[in-house]
Amino acid sequence: MPSQTVIESDGTIKSFTDWVKADGSTDFQPENGRYHLYGQHLCPFSHRAAMGRVLKGLEDVISMDNMDYELNRGEGWKFSPDKEGCDADSVNGYKYLKEAYTASAKKLGASGFSGTVVVPTLYDKKLQRVVSNESADILRMFNEEFNEFCVNKELDLFPEALRPEIEEVEKWTHMTIGLGVYGPGRAENQEEYDSAIEKLFTGLDKAEAILSKNRYLVGKQLTEADVRLFVVLIRFDVVYYFLKCCKRRIADYPALWAYTRDIYQTGNIKSTVVFDQIMKGYFMSYYMRAINPNKIVPVLPELNYDEEPNRENM
């Protein structure tokens, strides 16, 4: 089966875009123990994949290593088993994730990897190469392609009948909120800042209006649209608020705050939210070098994510 990953005209690979498929239409069949996830708790995109893994009950089927939370430009994601909560590379024993990317690119006949080495990365231990480094695709693979092996087969985060609506909601939540949280911090002048704030809080107000009437964003069940919004909301008051998104906290929005707690308390999701690493990751990594050169990690705000959400009967 030809790989879906493209070798660019310069001979390199910029991203891995293959798919695990239960119907046998690709080289990547779902198997117990065959795939591995490289992630980091700080990253909302990595969190999408970690949530899919836990929601579907795939912890024993898909192994996972957590990278060093401190990301440096140049060297990229590193394995630091000596740091609390961080793992060694349990598959290849590499020191840097880029080694897996380079070896995978060579395996496909490319001269190297020229894109950004990211988390999440889904790796195939059998064919010894990266399958995908796109979180939206990995979340869908976990949802659909491992039903033979997962604990929660009946959970469908992307039900056929709701797909157009889910994609529509994901589009505006991603543009206004998912990407929107980075706008105010990156603005280079007042005008840019003001318009970034306007865009972000218009998106949050819209989500608040929907979630004050509905338990979930689409239909009457948890879908991937909720997963994708949750990973942003759970970081908002502890990180993005301090990146100049400070018009309002999520805790100041009645519906968004209860919705965030509701999802946080669903199944095993809590186990995927590691505030200590989220804080260290954002405040110590190169993203914040300009505004936090001394790598000071602020105190975690006192917020009770375990407080009763009272949303079951909505």
Ligand X SMILES: N[C@@H](CCC(=O)N[C@@H](CS)C(=O)NCC(=O)O)C(=O)O
Q: Which residues are catalytic?
A: 43, 182
Nearer to ligand X, 49 or 211 (CB): 49
What is d(CA 34, CA 110) in angstroms, rounded to the nearest whole number? 24
Distance of closest approach, residue 107 Cβ to ligand X, in angstroms: 21
Residue position matching structure tokens 């909601």: 169
Nearer to ligand X, 49 or 162 (CB): 49
Nearer to ligand X, 17 or 265 (CB): 17
**Sheet holding 63-66: strands in order across?**
63-66, 35-39, 121-124, 129-132
Distance of closest approach, residue 284 Cβ to ligand X, in angstroms: 14
Q: Is 131 exposed, middle or buried (0-12, 13-18, 19+ CB in 10 A)?
A: buried
CB environment 201-225: b (16+ within 10 A), e (fewer): bebbeebbebbeeebbbbeeebbbb
The two tokens of residue 179 are 């990407």
Contact 217, 225 (CB under 8 A): yes
Q: In this structure, what are the phi and psi dihedrals at residue 121, rounded to the nearest 5 degrees? A: -130, 125
Residues 6+ apart with CB under 8 A from 163: none
The two tokens of residue 115 are 């894109």
Distance of closest approach, residue 276 Cβ to ligand X, in angstroms: 17
Nearer to ligand X, 71 or 166 (CB): 71
Distance of closest approach, residue 24 Cβ to ligand X, in angstroms: 25
Distance of closest approach, residue 160 Cβ to ligand X, in angstroms: 23
- Binding residues (CB under 6 A) for ligand X: these are 43, 45, 71, 76, 116, 118-120, 134-136
Q: How many CA atoms lie within 13 A of 216 on its CB side?
A: 19
